[in-house]
Structure 1
Amino acid sequence: MKTLLAVDGSDNSYEAVHALKYFSRAEQLTLLHALNVPRPAYPMLLPELAAEQYKTFEQIMREDGERLLDRIQSLLPMHAGPSTRHLRIGSPAQVIVSMAEEQKADLIVMGARGLGPIKEWLLGSVSHRVLTLASCATLIVNGPVKAMKQILLPLEGLSDAEAAIRFLQLKPFHEAVDVTLLTILTSTEPPRPGDAAAAAAATEKLEEKAAYIEGVAERLREKGGKGETRDTNGSEVRSSRSSERRPRTSSHKLHVAPFSQVSRFTCHCLWRWRAFQHPARGPRSTQQETA
């Protein structure tokens, strides 16, 4: 698996480094730091002085970036795999997506900046842009990853399923994990009481989607997954969650592109299996290349 690790020096970017220990040894690990060099803020500044100031900013940021990448390399897990390092100038989101395409990455791992809702709305979120633009799986880490044992992967359509299957075929995890596939089925209740035709159409659509998730489950069984499907309604899911007394944990976004936003529905089909662990852990890698 080819992995791109994008870092910016934030606390969450270091947590993203630590999260690599839960993934299998990378065939190629690309370390990337994007340099968003600011332009001089004085419009009356002479072009020569503006260019000199920009060059000074760039040099300082490059030196800081090299030190950051040195630190990141020293923190990589022993089984991370051979790594290369890159400093690129430009908008961070565009740089990350372009590098992922250039390296043909299977997975992007990065930390969330944690700006808060107002700053995120004003400034935009790099992680949100990467989730939207990247064509490969993306993991956004927004806090310490204490374990990676349970993964919830929502699927809405065939494109989601195909992308998920392609990713899981890579045997991406260092240890076996429990993965739950979730598809959300629309309610069979007609919009108007007594509307038999609408109720029949809704029921047919529900059955089609249930057959779809069962088909995905069967394909995963063929790929080595083991598990079963089950249906529960939304109220039962909420009730079971509220009755469980578990310690509060941080949430992390694992996005397998293409991915669709989920709206309010009432019925869930779950597919769960314990598999897709990479069999070869490989020796410790100490050789690293610099780009």
Structure 2
Amino acid sequence: MWCKKMLVAYDGSAPSHRALEVTREIAAQNPAVEVVLVHVMRLFSSGSAAAGMDTVMVDDAMAIRGELEAIAEAMVNPAEVKVLKGTSPADLIVNCAKEEGCDLIIMGSRGQGGVKGFLGSVSYAVTKESPMTVLIAKEGDCR
């Protein structure tokens, strides 16, 4: 198979759910294909007044991590979960894929804040910066 290791970016949005479905379909073709499930916790500079916001972001990231760990356990393929923290989600995703030796990145067409019908800024930046193939999963069933 042309793909040996995939990274899937997940944020809980409908397009990222579709990215997981596509990942499962590709991975099912070969149980030796490794999968890296990634969630990005975007860090913003915040003052002391926003300390409560920081707690909410960490809580949300840990909830998604738990969801991804359950998905990883249910997969036949070797799978690991990573929560990436930083200010540039696209750079974090591309750098993680490089470090992990992935030859495919799968992600949704837009994230939680994206406008339906348009490629999100993170998806666009990943496709622009990635040296490996990027598969963009669109929301909905295209069969």
Query: Is residue 28 of structure 1 aligned with residue 28 of structure 2?
Result: no
Residue 134 of structure 2 aligns with which residue? Answer: 138
Residue 21 of structure 2 aligns with which residue? Answer: 18
In 1: Cα distance, 2:42 partner to 2:21 partner: 25
| Structure 1 length-normalised TM | 0.41
Residue 64 of structure 1 aligns with which residue? Answer: 60
Matches within 5 A, 1:100-119: 100-113=97-110, 115-116=115-116
2:43 touches 2:87 (CA, 8 Å); kept in 1?
yes
1:37 touches 1:57 (CA, 8 Å); kept in 2?
no
Query: Is residue 92 of structure 1 aligned with residue 98 of structure 2?
Result: no
1:35 touches 1:61 (CA, 8 Å); kept in 2?
yes
Please give the secondary structure, in 2, of the residue aligned with 1:23: helix
Please give the secondary structure, in 2, of the residue aligned with 1:100: helix
Please give the secondary structure, in 1, of the residue aligned with 2:37: strand
1:17 touches 1:72 (CA, 8 Å); kept in 2?
no
In 1: Cα distance, 2:35 partner to 2:53 partner: 28
- Counterpart residue identity of residue 103, structure 2: D
Distance 1:97 1:80, change over 3 A: same
Matches within 5 A, 1:1-291: 1-24=4-27, 25=31, 27-40=33-46, 50=47, 52-76=48-72, 78-113=75-110, 115-116=115-116, 125-145=121-141, 249=142
2:65 touches 2:81 (CA, 8 Å); kept in 1?
no
Please give the secondary structure, in 1, of the residue aligned with 2:70: helix
1:28 touches 1:81 (CA, 8 Å); kept in 2?
yes
Distance 1:103 1:135, change over 3 A: same
1:38 touches 1:57 (CA, 8 Å); kept in 2?
no
Distance 1:35 1:29, change over 3 A: same
How many pairs are equivalent? 133
Give, in angstroms, the shift of residue 87 of structure 1: 3.0
1:3 touches 1:26 (CA, 8 Å); kept in 2?
no
What is the CA RMSD across the aligned residues, in angstroms? 2.5
Structure 1 gaps, min length 5: 41-49, 146-248, 251-291
| Structure 2 length-normalised TM | 0.76
Distance 1:53 1:29, change over 3 A: farther
Give, in angstroms, the shift of residue 142 of structure 1: 0.9
2:61 touches 2:83 (CA, 8 Å); kept in 1?
no
2:15 touches 2:139 (CA, 8 Å); kept in 1?
yes
Structure with more contact order per residue of length (Cα contacts < 8 Å, sep ≥ 6): 2
Give, in angstroms, the shift of residue 58 of structure 1: 3.0
In 1: Cα distance, 2:60 partner to 2:7 partner: 20
2:104 touches 2:132 (CA, 8 Å); kept in 1?
yes
Deviations 1:3-48 (A, max 9, x none): 11111121111111121221133553222111223334xxxxxxxx
Percent identity between the aligned chains? 27
Please give the secondary structure, in 2, of the residue aligned with 1:80: coil
From the CA coordinates, give the structure whose radius of gyration is larger.
Answer: 1
Please give the secondary structure, in 1, of the residue aligned with 2:115: coil
In 1: Cα distance, 2:69 partner to 2:18 partner: 13
In 1: Cα distance, 2:100 partner to 2:92 partner: 12
